[in-house]
Structure 1
């Protein structure tokens, strides 16, 4: 917790612009200027990322591919190339490391940086952010947007303010007014369900949120009330964590057709285990709980877990445990449209460069 005597922190939030789609447009000039979606365009496909040209039609990430095509008939779908995205992400993180070691990755394409004390001794965080954006464009040919402020909450909101290829700076004396104008649905940490509950209470903006005292917020939102109360006043004491603990490593696969046959389900689980185990090894993850996820054709989700007496030590062990969990659910009442397998309750942290990919990329 910061004290009133502490100087303001200098936090930068870097967010790449339409990252996956921008990499595809960079690497294939024929895609430039076109509405592009990375992901699957089939009936079970999901949009992992959309170019800005596609976004003008309302296409968004995590949207079903079929809906995206209805919104934009000329939409060009390209399959994801996660190795290419990871390679660019590593370039970006090497640029971050020139300025600070206090880096908290959120995904392949965004991160918080604490540059209060930076390697180059640069007093201006705005200048650091500008240099990072310049180096990213020079090294990768891609653009990044940045938010600069005195805490994580406002830095993240600021990075979205002038997208794409934008920079927004919010000084400590400007933070409360910045939040006051903000729709609560945009505040990081307030999801769609909570924003709807707030709207029912007449809370639409940060200013509306500030009008309610902590007791009121606690009655309606429980433990999250303290964060909301502080957020409305531009307060966020969370540090930038340079080694953010991961709770799980998992892989999911969505199928073109619903699966019922045991042999087919086991074969798909085997493929999933092949993809999962290298991620476990790369993350240096140590865990004892194997979790199976099954999404049925009626969209019901079954989740089953088994905690072993020892840490999972091989791909075969995680696969066999998954098979045991799966067989216990057979025969399924409905076909399976998705299977997932994961290792949970991890006791170790991943290496800083081992950034977990957003889960929707695995369901394409």
Structure 2
């Protein structure tokens, strides 16, 4: 049976949601961000992209390229609401759905022809149902393997469908720029070019051992992809691999206490996020960026999984303290990962007090979530956040 993987990517998702909700923004160049000198854009509409505006671009640079650009503050809760509706639609077409991010997902549609027709027919049905359900367009790529499906979804944006059949893979890789293969970033690209590698299939001029010697295990993986091989399955239940929050400051911050205040606010946000999915994580990661754009990330793996904001916050603070005097900081963020959805099996050697404490924390978190769900997130705030600067 021929394997088919589908990758769906919502078109300019955040910007499209804003244009849908506000008719005055439709047809105009907009971007999600602020006019602050240090703000960067998270998404730009296709009208803005015609001027060279793109995501991750400083807003000041974007405004120079497109003076008429309209900057809109993001509404993450709204985007998540739409995302859940999109994922629900995808579940109607395959039991094997992996949400890769808030606006993209993979589906294993192998063997669905008898129910939904050929892959292209299924893809068209998915597009139409998403359009009628949430009012937004999506682009779809279909291929025998996962990484090619993702590449294909970008070929006919916006609102396009592209399929790479198994007999087309070899020719496709002959014209695919090497930097399009996931894992070949800006730093690695010059090394590939030094070996005369321009397209993916060019890697096949050398044996796999050649690439493994130079790039380690990653070299073997890249060689396999250049051959059209990707054994990575669509992972059911892989809808969240991590949750993080970060803030860029209007002015550089030196005071560790101010940095910790931001960490507390961020810890509350990501803890509520993972609890919404019934997850707990073990690895806490701190991210710090400096005025010269240099950045560091430090992680600590806990003995037990958690979704408690207090534990996440204390761990983040401990990591920050271990770094010593950092000097001026431009951005700080914290994240949690290494999730396991299954329940933790208690050890007979684990102190009973620890078990009781965990249960109390879980009960408190559930109570907080219920209040916030009913009355809004601002109704419950930790005392140490009451003097926190506003989130810019």
Q: Output one character per residue of 1:121-173: Cα deviation in whole Å (capped at 9) or x when no partner.
A: 23411111110011111222211111122111221111111111111121111
Q: How many residues align?
A: 345
Q: For residue 161 of structure 2, what is the aligned residue in structure 1?
A: 167
| 1:149–1:170 Cα contact (<8 Å) kept | yes
Offset at 1:49?
A: 0.5
On the 8 A contact 1:15/1:159 being kept in 2, the answer is yes
Provide the residue aligned with 2:183 in structure 1: 189
Correspondent of 2:335 among 342, 347, 352: 342
Contact 1:99 1:120 in 2 (8 A): no
Which of 147, 151, 164 lines up with 2:145 in the alignment?
151
- Structure 1 residues 173 and 66: alpha-carbon distance in aligned structure 2, compared to 1, 3 A threshold: same
Within 1, Cα distance between the matches of 2:53 and 2:252?
A: 26
Partner of 1:269 in structure 2?
A: 263
How far apart are residue 308 of structure 1 and its match?
A: 4.4
Q: State the match for 1:278 in structure 2.
A: 272
- The equivalent of 1:59 in structure 2 is 53
| Structure 1 residues 88-129: Cα deviation after superposition (integer angstroms, max 9, x where no partner) | 111111111111110111111111111113397234111111
Contact 1:244 1:349 in 2 (8 A): no
> What is the CA distance between 1:45 and its match in structure 2?
0.7
Secondary structure at 1:131 match in 2? helix
Give the Cα–Cα distance (whole angstroms) in 2 for the partners of residues 54 and 214 of structure 1.
43
C-alpha contact 1:157 1:188 (8 A) present in aligned 2: no
Deviates more, 1:275-284 or 1:286-295: 286-295
* Stretch deviating more after TM superposition (267-276 or 118-127): 118-127
TM-score by length of 1: 0.86
SS of residue in 1 equivalent to 2:263 = helix
**Counterpart in the other structure of 1:47:** 41
1:28 aligns with 2:37: no
Q: Does structure 2 retain, via aligned residues, the 8 Å contact 1:243–1:349? A: no
Match of 1:317 among 311, 330, 335: 311
Q: Of 109, 112, 132, which residue of structure 1 is paired with 2:106?
A: 112
Corresponding residue of 1:127: 121
Q: Structure 2-normalised TM-score? A: 0.80
Secondary structure at the aligned position of 1:104 is classed as: strand
Q: Which moved more, 1:217-226 or 1:13-22?
A: 217-226
Which of 249, 259, 266 aligns to 2:243? It is: 249
Q: Which residue of 2 aligns with 1:16?
A: 10
CA distance, structure 2, for counterparts of residue 36 and residue 189 of structure 1:
31
Q: 2:229 is paired with a residue of what secondary structure?
A: coil
> How far apart are residue 70 of structure 1 and its match?
2.1
Which structure would you say has the larger Rg?
2
* Aligned pairs (5 A) from 1:68-83: 68-83=62-77
Q: Secondary structure at the match of 2:42?
A: strand
Q: Could you tell me how far apart the structure 2 residues matched to 1:13 and 1:303 are?
A: 30
CA contact (8 A) 1:245 1:348 kept: no
Q: How many angstroms apart in 1 are the aligned matches of 2:20 and 2:88?
A: 20
In the alignment, the residues of structure 1 paired with residue 227 and residue 94 of structure 2 have an alpha-carbon distance, to the nearest angstrom, of 28
Hey, what's the Cα distance between the residues in 1 that align with 2:180 and 2:98?
Answer: 21
What SS does the aligned partner of 2:188 have?
Answer: helix
> What SS does structure 2 have at the residue aligned with 1:121?
helix
Partner Cα distance (1:209, 1:237) in 2 = 19
> Which residue of 2 is the match for residue 354 of structure 1?
none
- What per-residue deviation string (whole Å, max 9, x for no partner) do you get for residues 320-347 of structure 1? 3333443454544x22211122334444
User: How many Å separate the matches in 2 of 1:106 and 1:64?
Assistant: 25
Partners of 1:99 and 1:119 within 8 A in 2: no
The separation in 1 between residues aligned to 2:182 and 2:320, in whole angstroms, is: 36
- 8 Å CA contact 1:295, 1:336 repeated in 2: yes
Q: For the aligned residues, what is the CA RMSD?
A: 2.5
Unmatched 5+ stretches in structure 2: 344-390
Unaligned runs of 5+ in 1: 1-6, 351-362
Verify the 8 A CA contact 2:30 2:70 in the aligned structure 1.
yes
**1:200 Cα deviation (Å)?**
2.0
Shift of 1:79: 0.7
